[in-house]
Each structure stands twice: as C-alpha cells, then as structure tokens.
Structure 1
Amino acid sequence: MNELLNATHDPQLRSWVASANGAGTDFPIQNLPFATYSQGPQGARKIGVAIGDQVLDVRATGLIETSDMNALMAQSPAAMSALRAAISQGLSEGSAQHAEWAQFLSPQDAVTLHLPCRIGDYTDFYTGIHHATTVGKLFRPDEPLLPNYKWVPIGYHGRASSIGVSGQTFHRPMGQTKGPKEDVPVLRPSHRLDYELELGVLVGQGNALGEPIAMGEAEAHAFGMVLLNDWSARDVQAWEYQPLGPFLAKNFASTISPWIVTMEALAPFRAPFTHPESDPQPLPYLDSPANRKQGGIGVALEVWLHTQAMRDAGLGPERLSQSNFLDAYWTVAQMLTHHTVNGCNLQPGDLLGTGTLSGPGPDQAGSLLELSQGGKNALTLANGETRTFLEDGDAVILRALCERNGFRRIGFGDCRGQVLAARAQAAVG
C-alpha cells in the first residue's frame, strides 16, 4: 500500500470545472499544480492553481494570505497537504464553494504566466546514466562513464539569472570556439546549439547552513517539479569545459514550465528504486528504506521540434524522442541529501536540475548531441528538413505525463523555447 496516497488522489473525483474532467487535460482535479500569474504582463502577481483550462486565484479563496510563491513554498509539508485538500474539496463537484469560487477563475490562455517563483540558486545534476554513457562514448569510447559516476550524484552550479518561463526566446549565443583544423579559437555564434530534456526540482523548506538534510527527511524539502530545458552550446562547451566544467556553454538560457507539479500530486506514480546488483550500492548517507521502496517517479517525457518551415507551412511540431524519469540513476531525495551533506544550505525556490533524461534506446535520447551522434548523423524530419543541431527559428517543446492504471493521468503543461538569430557580431566585437 502506498502510504503517500490520500483522498485528493481518488480517480473518481470530478470537478465542477468541466474542462478538468476531460480525458486529455494535463490538469484534472487530481493534479492541482501551482503557478505565478497576472492579468496582463504588468498586472499584480498572484498564486494560481491549474484546474482544467482555468486558473484559480488561491488567495482570493481565503485559503492563503500571501501572493509570494516562495513564502508559500517555505511552509511545512503538513500545511501544504492541508491546503491541497482544501483546494480539492472546494473544486469538487457538489462543493459549497462552487458559486463563490467560480468568480476567482480565469482562462489560462487569458493570463500571463511568469516564472513560478524566485530562483535564487540553480544546480544541475547528471542523473541520466544513459545520456552520460552515450555522450561519454563519443569522447571516451573505452571508458564512457568516469569512475565516480556510480558513486556520487554529479552536479555543477548553473546560472539562475537567465532562467526563463515557457515561451522564452533567446538569441543564438556567441562564444569562443576552436575547430579541429583551426590554430586559434574564434569568437562566433554557436553552430552546435542543442536542447537538454530535464526535470527540475524546486526546493520548498530550506535547511540551515551547516545542517545536512538526511535521506529520511529529504523529500520534505522538495516542493514539486517542473520541466527544464537546459539549452547548451556544444561547440563552446567542448572548448571551455576543462578543467572547471560548463560555463558560457550553458548560462545564456534555460527554460522551465510555469506549473509546479507538487510532490504530493506525484504520489500515485511512485516506484521502487534500486541500483543494479552489479553496480556499487549507494553509500549509507544516500540510502533509505523509503527511497528503495518508492524513490522512483514515473514521468514520461517527450521532445517536440517545431521549425520555422513547419510553421510557415501550417504544420504542427514533430516528436523527436521519448524517455522516462524512472531511468535516472539518482532520485530526488538523493540529489537533495548529497547537495547538503557538506553543510550547504538550500532555500525555498532553489532549482535542482536532473540533467538530461535519456532512455536506453536510440530513440530515447534527450538531446540532439545523442540523436545525431555528435553531429555525424543528420535527422531527417517528416517535411524533408534535416537537423544535426538547432537552427534559427527552431522551437523546442518539452512535455511530460504521469500515467498508471487505477489513477487519473496528470501532466506538466508545455515547456517551450525558441532560438532566434545571433545578434550582430559587431555589437560584441
């Protein structure tokens, strides 16, 4: 029995918001993800919950007193669970709040969605073992995984200031690159621009400096999850990454989805988590009975590409790949625990990226670097276009669904970003 389940997960629950009962919605009453929104780009920021194709102004219901998402995220898991239960009850068919709360709804397509919270710090992990193996083979055929990979959750500190919300556009980044036949590097637009299919964990309750979070307590510090596209300039990365790792290759833009799917909403999709018996087992500080029993989370992921030519021809986007978070090598709890084992303090709104989430199959790659085998094999799209890396005008859309027999399907909404042409080099020359 999954002790994380409660009445809010009941698959028979229906909402008086009709669109929440449709089979295809990402946002049935069993989901109830949070976002920060406004009525128009310059309107006052509000905390909203998605229900079908609507967004509910949570503060207007009287259930909370703040419009600051970070303040809400700092609340205890018990307080957040009580809030979720109250929202679920108020939005359920037959609710006494129906008439009053109907005034607090707005169509999602009529509001502006912002970054869901203030992201003070951003750490990107490397939990996708299939991505790490495939990319490692491109550069180290005899030793694709470095010796530490199966022992320690690898991560690096990224740049929070350039994280944008779905709908973000950005110019192709400039950078210093050096081709194999060039004697000296050159400053130029990246020609090996890539996406990375990731999930992001947003921290809820923080921890004090010097006080590590133990595995048994780790998930109490996770508020929820979003989709994350960690755009990467592979040619810049290849020249700069030794000896200190990613820098300009990854700090120019990252895109997240606006809706935070709470850890409680993900409870029905939990799964056992273990490393293969032939692999090193986690050190004691990275292990717990709860993590072994239900540390995995089944999140099915997709990457879609919408080129300028497709849009000009009135065509929809094309799916490039599918994968699942169940194939990750480290869990949410392990990322949080390892991040703080040295005493590092996390704060509400901090973002932890999973790293690229690829599956074992060639059609489950979470980046073009993998799909094109380092640019050697071009992908042919249905309209005849080809891609090894992203071209100007390309829009990448990430999607995610959680499905399990006996439960209502939930989704994350789209995470969309688009590449614009590089700015004139004279401006930076």
Structure 2
Amino acid sequence: MVTDGRREHHGDEQAVAVVRTSVEAVFREEHGRLLATLVRRFGDLHLAEEVAAEAVEAALRHWPVSGVPTRPGAWLLTTARRRAVDRIRRDHNLALRLAVLQAEADRADPAPSADGDQELPDDRLALFFTCAHPALTAQDRVALTLRCLAGLTTAEVARAFLVPEATMAQRIVRTKRKIRDARIPFRVPGIDELQQRLPGVLQAVYSIFTEGYAASSGPDLQRLDLAEEAIRLARILRRLLPAQREVAGLLALLLLVHARRHARTGPDGVAVLLDEQDRSRWDRPMIDEGCALARVALTGGPPGPYGLQAAIAALHDEAPDLAGTDWPQIVALYDVLLRVAPSPVVALNRAVAVAMRDGPAAGLVLLDDIAGDPRLRTYHLYPASRADLLSRLGRHADAAGAYRQALELAGSEPDRDHLRRRLDAAQAAAATATD
C-alpha cells in the first residue's frame, strides 16, 4: 500500500511537472500578445503585467485538475481580464486613473465572450513601439522589450545587463512609471511617423541580438538564449510589418550571422574567427532563409542599413572560404553603408575588408585614420584588428602591443583567451625576429 501510495504521489508530481512545463511554454509564446492586449484594454503596463502573472499562477493551480484548455492563450487572457476588473473595483484611485482609458478601450475593443474561447487580438506591434519610444533611454528600451515582449523574467533581464536583480527591478518600475506619467500612447504610429519611429524598434531588437552574439562579459562568447529571442522578436515584426523592407533586412541579418553559431567557438570554448571556422558546421537552411530575406530587403527602393549589412553577411555565408569571398563587392557595400549609416564600427569593418582586397598596409592606413574617434577607445576589436594587420606586415612587436591593448578592453573570457594566444604568438615571432 505504501508503495502504491508512493507511485500515486510520484504520478501526481509528474502530472504537475508536465502542466507546469505546458504553462511555461504557453506563457513564453503568448506573453507579448497577452500583455499587449491587456495594455490596450486597461492602458496600464504595470497592471497588465501583474494580472498576467496572476493568470499564470491560476493556470498552475487549475490545469493539473481540469487539463490544459484547447486555447490556453485565450484562457489566460480571460482570467487576467477578470483579475484586472476586480482590482479596479477594489482600488478607487486606480479606477479613476483608468476610467477614461477604459472607456476608450471598450469602444475599440468589444467585451470578450465569457467562455474564454475568443482569439487573442495581436496588439504586439503597439507594444513594440511603446517599449521603444524615443522618450526612453536606449538601455531602458532594450530592458522593457526583453521584459514585455520576450517574456524574460526580471532576473533574466538583469543577467543580460549584468546588474543585480534589484537594480533591474527598479529600472523597469521607473520606466513603466515614465510611460504612465508621460502618457506615452499605446498605439502604432501613423504612416508618416512610422518611418521615424521604426529604427528605434529595430535597434532595440538588434541590441538584444548583439549581446547574444558577443557577450560583453562572462564565461561564454555567445548568449544563444538572447540571440534566439531577438530572432523570435524579429520574426514577429516581420509578420506584423510585411511591407517594411528594413524589417526583412534585420531578420535576414540576424539569421545570416546566427547561422555560424556552432562554428564560432572551439572545443575548449575559445573564440574561432571567421577565417578559421569550419563552414560545414554553418546552418545552411538558416542561410538560405536569410539570403531570401536579404533579396527582399534590397528590392524596391534604396537599401537601408540592415538590408546592406544582411547583404554583406550573405556574401560571407555564401563564400566557400576566406580567399573565395567577394571582397570587392563587400567593400562596395560598406561604401554605401558608410553613406547611409556612418559610424566608426562601420569604418572599422570597411578597413578590414579593404585589407582583404588590397593588402594589410592599405587597411592599416584606414584604421589609423579613425584612431582618434573617442567611440573606439573602449572597443576591443579596434586594437585587435590593428594587431592582426600589423602581424601580417611582419611588425610583430607593434602587434603584441596592440594585442595587449585589446586584451585590456575585452570582456568575455573566450575573447580574452583568443587574444592571449594571439599575443603569445606575436611575442614569440618578435623574439625570433630579434634573435
């Protein structure tokens, strides 16, 4: 009997675990849409987050007993709405603050049916523009996008920013308060404003991917969880804004770069540069999808910065090896990119491409031309690139000095390990030349 009881208890635990996994999967998939629908209806991001969390807690209690509903997202929405209405009824101040917003939302959004089977309207595009409003700082935009649209917990967002959870919680609260107090509208901008606001939305998603592609610090070169969340968000944007070529360009760029993820580190975890990567490990279906999207981004008008970067990434991904890369075309694309979106990082990447086309001396001249840009002072890839070109020119002592500078600036351990190896090789070559 005891054994049977234990088996029964173990079976119950397994059932709860399965349901918990289902709830987490549903919440991850539906979080942004659920939150956006609640914000549209009640006009308060903080309230929407709290009742969404309460709906998930309710699901964890009820679904093990009643089973996962046919439309779990709709179940969560109905439950969250009821919780929000209960809060508003209890809180007189909240009711007063939301009264006008509630009336406007009711006119635009008919009351849902009681059975909870209605489909969730997709208001995520409005939430994208709210989270990426120009009144917010760049870091706050990224943090709020991760929290509200990617569905990351505050602890996960804090890890992405490498700050304590309490610090991130305060930042998110302040940002949501700023949205409320500044009465930042929850809406998709009109066609005239859209083109001005869209780059901020794309930049928020790209910033998430950048941290995932090359972690600013820590034991790993890549944060695949962040990179994949950015791709998921870019796919949502692509579905919601199919006519925007720069959205296609952003998704293309992320896919073409992420396709190399498995080859970017060696068995020991050390970074592997493009010229040394095993290209058979690149994700070919992802490359094919990215190339198709890049063609969309470059068709129908002047190319934007993400479309141009996607085209450069496609040339890298389609090349059989470093020597077989179309460097003249890459340099030409960088020339256009410098005109469209000038930045010291673009100038740096163009200099490296010129070095591949015309030789290291030509690239070094271009790197020296931008040496005084203050934005490169903390960017470890600038001295690392100089060191590489100096090594190719046989100036090993100078290369060692540049590698030391890059090593001081690098954040992640795989990057630092790679630079240490390059520094050791440069010092050995310099010593041999001296002997």
Query: Same fold judged by TM-score > 0.5?
Result: no
Q: Which has the higher strand share?
A: 1
TM-score for the superposition, normalised by structure 1: 0.25
Pick the structure with greater CA Rg. Answer: 2
